[in-house]
Chains A and B, each alone.
Chain A
Amino acid sequence: MKRLAILMLGLLGLAFAAEPIKIGALYILSGNFANYGQASKEGASLAAEEINAAGGLLGRPIELIFVDHGKPDQAVREAKRLILEEKVDFLFGIDSSSVSLAVAPVANEYKVPLIVTHAATPRLTEMCLPYVFRTSNNARMDSWAAAAFAAKKPYKRWANIGPDYEFGRVSWEDFITRLKELKPDVEAVSEQWPKFGSSDYSSYITALMRSRPEAVFSSLWGGDFVTFAKQAIPYGFFKSIKFYVNPTGGALQALEPLGKNAPEGLLVGTRYWFLYPKTEKNQAFVKKYYEKFGHYPSYNAGEAYSGLMMLAAAIKKAGSTDPDAVKAAFEADGGLKFESIEGLKWMRPADHQVFEDLVWGYTKLTPDYPFAILDPIIVVQAKDTIYPTKCAK
């Protein structure tokens, strides 16, 4: 009996002694977009909790260290601190495109694998850095999907309104270039570039309407999209155009505050939608998340959860946390294929970009939810989002 107790204690001690796998998670946790970082944090925490409850990875628990990434220079400082002082095994997360471009070379230099779950500039994976991975789709796939939808419509006069920084610029550039390839007779009649995080879109809205577009592409996201929509409605903007498409408009962070004021019939995308796919796996995740946090998981909460689970799968496959072993696990056998809550994610070995089905849909108000949902849902197949890589391999 006594022996058994000692044995148990010893085992317990061993379990505690197992050094945690440290993951430095960088997200926006202050300022105007803090709720995006907060959602990602919740998604990643839930994944870590589930992994640890199931005995951890390679017998080691996962320890997430959350850091507010702020602007690029602050993010680089924090990344270095995580690498040099906290001695993290992995870097993870990142909401902002500009931040991802600044942090990626640092992670790569120190050979600490970086797994990006949210930042969407295509340039990140076009750098082809050996230790940088993205487990969500990027803005180019969204823009190209939008262009494919747009090309099927009869509209020729297109306009843009997007935030004046990396993500907004690259989204429009990709969209209009692609659309002109698919439908050469389209014309860009106006481009509006309000400041990122602006609170006043009125003069941009009137300028946009004055150019009389038939259809408008917009990459305004989060609070920007909410404020824009609130100001656009009383100008009669949405009624003055025939088609509005926004690749990030399906984010719950935007649809929830808009509530029942949301304009219907907008074509919006979202990298993950809590009501799709209707698999047991996804429904269990949504239920657990809702019970724990009191709200539905947004797209980037879903991506953070899936991203950590995919990294866990790679570590398990590698049998170690060694950067080269994990890299090989992501790349081997034609790239890691991971069945996530969102469906299948495939990591392209050449540029470490994940391809997956994209969720789009038209906004619609229903009695079931206090905000607009996507109905009908339109799924863009992963195979239709594949674009050529610029990497050598």
Chain B
Amino acid sequence: MELDLGFFVQQFLTGLATASTLFLLAVGLSLIFGALGIVNFAHGSFYMLGAYLLYWVARGDPEGLWWGMAVVVAIGLVLGALVERIFLRPVYPRPEHHQILLTYALLLVIEDGVKILFGSAYKSLGPPSALAMPVWILGAPFPAYYLVQILLAAAVAVLLWLFLKRTRVGLWIRAVTQDREMLEALGVPVPRLLTGVFALGIALAVLGGAATLPMQTVSPGVAVEAVISAFIVVVVGGLGSIWGSLLGAFLIGEIQAFGVMIWPEFSIAFVYLLMAVVLLVRPWGLLGRPPVVRT
């Protein structure tokens, strides 16, 4: 097979499209773990909920995507804040497995909830008509909507970085990861901060799920699939690290895209191989921090 640039770029962009979905899905999981120390098993459920909410809000009109996404993200923020206040806050002092059980329970409740509200049929919404066609890049077709999705993920990454690095609240979020007590002693409203971080993490998951709807379908099984993918990304990139999520998503997306070319029969295996190698060499992930023993 001759190597032509158009095809290479097409496959690279295809990998980026996969990566942007994975990044939006995983970054909130990482953010929440970094600040709250909670592994949110229900993260994929909120991602799924994002797609369902968009489907519901847009009422079958693909042109409703843009304002629909804004509405859905707002719902995600409120929902995240409520969940944190009502369910998570009481379990912070409890042992870790209580927290895991709680978020796992949320996963089950949300799955049954969407089944009751939306039924078990696949729900789908096409892309807006302006983005339904391929764009031609170096002679190779590429879905216009994927370009938007890639830009969206890039924008989220940049904004999140600016927010964490350049704002006072961002500083607090980075600090709360290190030492919650000290931050409280300095007069920072830590409980409210944690509510905010959780709400932001959930809103990102909801945004990620909603953004996939024009190119995918949603059904109650999406939640579990999604949370597994999110875990793979954070295991590779490092749980708690924003850049880790970005790197993990990028590697997995590209490995998937080019793995199909090299060895189509075992393309899925490459991703798991990467995960296994990372676990052996850097168990805390590529950009994660090795655990510190606190006294």
B-contacting residues of A (Cβ < 8 Å)? 30-35, 37-38, 164, 190-193, 195, 197, 199-200, 202-204, 206-207, 210, 222-223, 226-227, 230-231, 233-236, 253-254, 256-259, 261
Contact = CB atoms under 8 A, between A and B. Distances in A.
Given A32-B219, A234-B127, A257 B122 contact: yes
Interface string B1-43: 1000001001100110110010000000000000000000000
Contact of B145 (A37, A234, A261): A234
B276 interface: no
Contact of A33 (B11, B60, B221): B221
A105 B124 CA distance: 39
User: Which bucket holds chain B's interface residue count?
Assistant: 35 or more
A173 to B, nearest CB: 14
Given A200-B21, A210-B1, A235-B143, A31 B122 contact: no
B143 A231 contact: yes
Interface stretch (B163-171, B193-201, B210-218): B210-218
B178 interface: no
B115 A195 contact: no
27 contacts: A31-B224, A32-B222, A33-B221, A34-B221, A37-B120, A38-B120, A192-B260, A195-B268, A199-B216, A200-B21, A202-B257, A203-B15, A203-B256, A206-B11, A210-B261, A226-B122, A226-B217, A230-B126, A234-B131, A234-B133, A234-B215, A235-B142, A236-B134, A253-B122, A256-B121, A258-B124, A261-B124
A257 B123 contact: yes
Q: Report, nearest first, the 4 A-B pairs whose CB atoms are least far apart.
A: A32-B221, A234-B143, A31-B221, A34-B120
A233 B142 CA distance: 10
Contacts of B63: none
* Interface of chain B, main secondary structure: helix
B123 A207 contact: no
Interface of B: 1, 7, 10-11, 14-15, 17-18, 21, 60, 111, 115, 119-124, 126-127, 131-134, 140-146, 212, 214-217, 219-222, 224-225, 256-261, 264-265, 267-268
B225 A257 contact: no
A35 B121 contact: yes
Nearest to A199: B216
Contact of A259 (B10, B124, B127): B124
Given A32-B222, A210-B1, A235-B143, A257 B18 contact: no
A34 B223 CA distance: 13
Contacts of B60: 259
B212 A199 contact: yes
A203 B262 CA distance: 12
B275 to A, nearest CB: 15
A195 B266 CA distance: 10
Given A210-B7, A233-B132, A199 B225 contact: yes
